[in-house]
Amino acid sequence: MKACVVSVFLFLLATNIFVEEVVAAGECGRTPIRSAAASLSPCLSAARNVRAKVPPLCCTKVGALIKTAPKCLCAVLLSPLAKQAGINPAIAITIAKRCNIRKRPAGKKCGRYVVP
């Protein structure tokens, strides 16, 4: 009986670890979307107002994210976290262009928005 309980426990533990690994491999890879969103905090004003100047640190962060995980940027912009922060995805999606990032995913869809 004890061996059966130990086997079930080990099976549940292994299953839980496997499920966590699968869940962790999202659009942002192993980086939790909350962390990816927090890294873009210098972009808040520019993501709310199309006329706001985009801070250089924001451009650096967006450029790095586009280079390493372009789908992550879209996932962050469309996330409930972005909505809670008052980010307008239609404006936020223009940040890469406003930063003059040449290798942005121009023409690609991000939800219902198209990257300029």
- Position 52 scores a pLDDT of 95
* CA atoms of 72 and 16, how far apart (whole Å): 25
Tokens 């496997």, residue? Answer: 18
* CA atoms of 39 and 18, how far apart (whole Å): 27
- Position 18 scores a pLDDT of 39
- Position 115 scores a pLDDT of 86
Residue 5: C-alpha distances to residues 2, 8, 63 (Å): 5, 5, 51
pLDDT top residue among 7 and 58: 58
pLDDT in tens, 9-59: 434 434 444 334 344 458 898 899 999 999 999 999 999 999 999 999 999
Backbone angles phi, psi at 2, to 5 degrees: -60, -40
